[in-house]
Structure 1
Amino acid sequence: MTSTRTAVLTGAAAERGIGQATARAYAKAGWAVAILDLDGELAARVAADIASEHGVPVYGGAVDVANEASVSAAQQEISARVADGTLPPVGALANIAGITSPVPFLETTLDLWNKVLAVNATGTYLVTKAFLPDMIERGFGRIINMSSVSAQRGGGVFGKVPYSAAKAAILGFTKALARELGSSGVTVNAVTPGAVDTNIRVGSTPEQEAAIVRDIPLGRQATPDDVAAVFVFLSSDEAGYLQGTTIDINGGSHLH
């Protein structure tokens, strides 16, 4: 399969995660894929597996999205692979890396607050800033930022104050950057998943899981594939008139 564009994804290596499901969905749709994750060795293994399954170019490497030097190094590595023809030009950036904070507000330390905002909000800023110039130069790009229903409804069973604040910041970032980029050919949109059946809630109790499902009109949590499909659509040519929008993927748990 000949791939003409590369999708770069952060936080895309973990098993049963939205990131890995989205990487696989991009590859299935014919995109080349660059998987970036804090665990670089796992990212490389997942990349090899996806390349074998779908026959597209795939790169897997390490990044700490909250560290500017690490982000710059990852971007330079991918740019070098584009330059030597190993990967086609970057056409999409999926800012998926994130952490949650199921801690009541008065038990939230400043260190936890800073860490959650650093990974979710600052990470989105740093990675976008690193990959955006080349997109603008080529006149095409799709940036999709991972927010959350927690940003819209003010938390929930797992998304407490720092997480909700960080994900709300991503919505403002998305809208402002979309307006600033104007007719550059680069679109910026956000997705706001509700409850998704992933490993992010390891340690949750059956009672907590039941409480989540009771609040969803469709009667189930989303799968990672449900969310991945929206990322791939927002990266397509057909989504070229969507700018600064937010796509809800919550099964009806938050209607507005």
Structure 2
Amino acid sequence: MVLRDKIAIVTGGSRGIGKAICEALARQGARVVIFDVNAAELQNCVTELKAAGFDAEGYEVNVAQADKVEEAVAGVIDNLGRIDILVNNAGITRDTLLMRMKEEDWDAVLAVNLKGVFNCTKAVSRPMMKQRSGVIINISSVVGLMGNAGQANYAASKAGIIGFTKSVARELASRGVRANAIAPGFIVTQMTDVLSDEIKGELQKQIPLGRLGQPEDVANLVVFLASDNASYITGQTIAVDGGMVMH
């Protein structure tokens, strides 16, 4: 168990990639704390993890609200004493072409996907610097590397995460805190379930490995980056995309 007794916060951890990350961290011995805006899904996920014999708890938090994030992080430290790992995974989409995109669609996506990462990272940075250890893992997207028609807001938020991660990595490195980003490609989740078989087939043609990814493909990398096996890796963006983007 490479993460035995580590305290890990995962935002948006109740379903999809986030849920797979929670399960993978828990299997490696981490105590998982889920921040999620959906109370029912949050409770279900915590219950499932506990039923499987893992340590887990949840906080109903909208990561776009700085005061709520700070309150929840303070609660985790009060209850568990420390925070070793933060996985910024919470994200939303409001897809449409730029010409049709409403200002509120832009604002909503940037608020959760980018400002949420800022809020959570800022809240854990002081305690991590004080303990002179910690790992921050930000879930970006290949769309942040290559762009995508109909996703100007999402792509901008995910590209922003990459620049943010590099800056945080430089600021916190001297205190033993590492920060990296992961850029998933097309992963089979509820978000991609809405795509037609035809679109999925077209996507697969763009992927050298010829298949969509699984949430576990991302979760396995999170475990590695969170562990001491990755102790000399910081400020990096690693794509988990079957070879779709090579740079």
In 2, Cα distance between the equivalents of 1:69 and 1:165?
24
* More deviation, 196-205/89-98: 196-205
Structure 1 residue 3, shift from structure 2 partner = 4.1
Find the partner of 1:142 among 130, 135, 160: 135
Q: Which residue identity does 2:5 align to in structure 1?
A: T
What TM-score comes out, normalization by structure 2 length? 0.95
- Decide whether the 8 Å contact of 1:44 with 1:61 is kept in 2: no
- Decide whether the 8 Å contact of 2:4 with 2:28 is kept in 1: no
Residue 64 of structure 1 corresponds to: 62
* Residues 9-42 of structure 1: CA deviation (Å, up to 9, x unaligned): 000102xx00000000000111110011111332
Matching of residues 109-120 of structure 1 within 5 Å = 109-120=102-113
Residue 32 of structure 2 corresponds to: 33
Q: Give 5+ residue unaligned stretches, structure 1.
A: 84-88
Q: Which residue identity does 1:162 align to in structure 2?
A: N
Identity of aligned residues (%): 37
Matching of residues 105-254 of structure 1 within 5 Å = 105-155=98-148, 160-254=151-245
Q: Which residue identity does 1:43 align to in structure 2?
A: L
Q: Which residue identity does 2:70 align to in structure 1?
A: S
Residue 49 of structure 1 corresponds to: 48
In 2, Cα distance between the equivalents of 1:79 and 1:182?
22
Structure 1 residue 124, shift from structure 2 partner = 0.2
Residue 82 of structure 1 corresponds to: 80
Structure 1 residue 203, shift from structure 2 partner = 2.8
- Decide whether the 8 Å contact of 1:3 with 1:57 is kept in 2: no
**Cα-Cα RMSD:** 1.5
Structure 1 residue 99, shift from structure 2 partner = 1.0
Q: Which residue identity does 1:32 align to in structure 2?
A: R
Residue 20 of structure 2 corresponds to: 21
* Residues 157-187 of structure 1: CA deviation (Å, up to 9, x unaligned): xx61111001000000000111111221100
In 2, Cα distance between the equivalents of 1:170 and 1:30?
28
In 2, Cα distance between the equivalents of 1:215 and 1:153?
13
- Decide whether the 8 Å contact of 2:13 with 2:89 is kept in 1: yes
In 2, Cα distance between the equivalents of 1:180 and 1:65?
22
In 2, Cα distance between the equivalents of 1:76 and 1:136?
15
* Residues 125-149 of structure 1: CA deviation (Å, up to 9, x unaligned): 0011111111111111000001110
In 2, Cα distance between the equivalents of 1:192 and 1:171?
9
Residue 10 of structure 1 corresponds to: 11
Q: Which residue identity does 2:84 align to in structure 1?
A: G
* Residues 198-227 of structure 1: CA deviation (Å, up to 9, x unaligned): 011343222211111111111111100000
Structure 1 residue 68, shift from structure 2 partner = 1.2
Q: Give 5+ residue unaligned stretches, structure 2.
A: none
In 2, Cα distance between the equivalents of 1:249 and 1:25?
16
Q: Which residue identity does 1:25 align to in structure 2?
A: A
* Residues 34-54 of structure 1: CA deviation (Å, up to 9, x unaligned): 01111133212211221221x
In 1, Cα distance between the equivalents of 2:173 and 2:210?
39
